[in-house]
Amino acid sequence: MLERIRIVLIGTSHPGNIGGTARAMHNMGLADLALVAPRCEPISADTVSRASGADHIVHAARQVATLEEAVADCTLVVGASARSRTLPWPMTTPRELAESLPAELADERARVALVFGREDSGLSNSELQRCHAHVNIPANPDFSSLNLATAVQVLAYECRLVWLAQQVGDTDDTPEAAAPTPHALANHQELERYFAHLERTLVAIGFHDPATPRQLMARLRRFTLRARPERMELNILRGILTATEQRTRCPKTDE
């Protein structure tokens, strides 16, 4: 289970936090780290010092330019965030999230990404809207921003406790095998392709004007991601969009 949990850091400014994240991950038995457009040199003296022996995780980390690339193969993408401002999104707690992982990862192909934003500004709205859910670490409302590596530690700790609980009295080494196999969920890339197709179609039928979005796509994202679409369902939805597009070459008829 732990090997299919990916920690994704976006736009990290301080190499020390990357090192601290690697240490927290290795302490808790996680190893899959992805760095999205870091705003610092990931490997530095601070990295090695804060990693304190776990810098192999930083060396093995995948460095990419966009969140898309970091989570393309993930079936569940959860963003660390304060309670959402503009548009409320499904919120979970670190414990609820961890307790959902055995089922989420029951399918061998399943991958979970835990996404952490910039030290100064966190995750952007567009990044938050690419997540199935947001996880919020309960904190002092007057001082709620945790250090990046410390926030990773709290989530990784909850994941490890759930994993440990699974090991107890487990005969074979694959505790996930016990859990029921879920549907073949669409992955992030398939979902993003659908949203792009949906937006094109909504523009084509004159329902959506990107110039005045009024959060339309955000609301449709939230609705769709909440349903956790299966690959087959997404194929049906895209078929509907394609059939709709074939109608859009004639003038709009108002009655």
What span, in angstroms and rounded, lies between the C-alpha atoms of 201 and 183?
Answer: 27
Residue 210 binds a second copy (CB under 8 A): no
Residue 180 binds a second copy (CB under 8 A): yes
What span, in angstroms and rounded, lies between the C-alpha atoms of 77 and 156?
Answer: 15
- Give the residue ranges of DSSP H helices in 29-171: 45-51, 56-59, 67-71, 94-104, 125-128, 148-167
106 or 161: CB nearest a second copy: 161
**Which of 32, 42, 47, 50 forms a contact with a second copy (CB under 8 A)?**
50
Count CB neighbours of 210 within 10 A: 10
Residue 121 binds a second copy (CB under 8 A): no
Residue 212 binds a second copy (CB under 8 A): no
Residue 255 binds a second copy (CB under 8 A): yes
23 or 67: CB nearest a second copy: 23
Strand ordering across the sheet containing 133-135? 62-64, 32-36, 5-10, 112-116, 76-80, 133-135, 91-92
Residue 206 binds a second copy (CB under 8 A): yes
**Angle, to 10 degrees, between the axis of helix 148-167 and the axis of helix 94-104?**
50
Residue 81 binds a second copy (CB under 8 A): no
User: Using alpha carbons only, what angle is made at residue 125 by residues 122 and 128, rounded to the nearest 5 degrees?
Assistant: 75
**Which of 131, 132, 176, 185 forms a contact with a second copy (CB under 8 A)?**
176
Smallest gap, in angstroms, from Cβ of residue 123 to a second copy?
18
9 or 149: CB nearest a second copy: 149
Smallest gap, in angstroms, from Cβ of residue 65 to a second copy?
28
Which residues, 6 or more positions from 18, have their beta carbon under 8 angstroms from its beta carbon?
9, 12, 35, 38, 40, 42, 47, 50, 51, 58
115 — phi, psi (to 5°)?
-105, 130
How far does the chain reach from its first CA to its final CA, in angstroms? 56
Residue 219 binds a second copy (CB under 8 A): yes
Residue 169 binds a second copy (CB under 8 A): no
Note the residues at the interface with a second copy (CB under 8 A): 20, 23-24, 26-29, 50, 52-54, 88, 91, 95, 137-141, 143-147, 149-150, 153-154, 157, 160-161, 164, 174-176, 180, 202, 205-207, 216, 219-220, 223-224, 226-230, 232-233, 236-237, 239-240, 243-244, 246-255
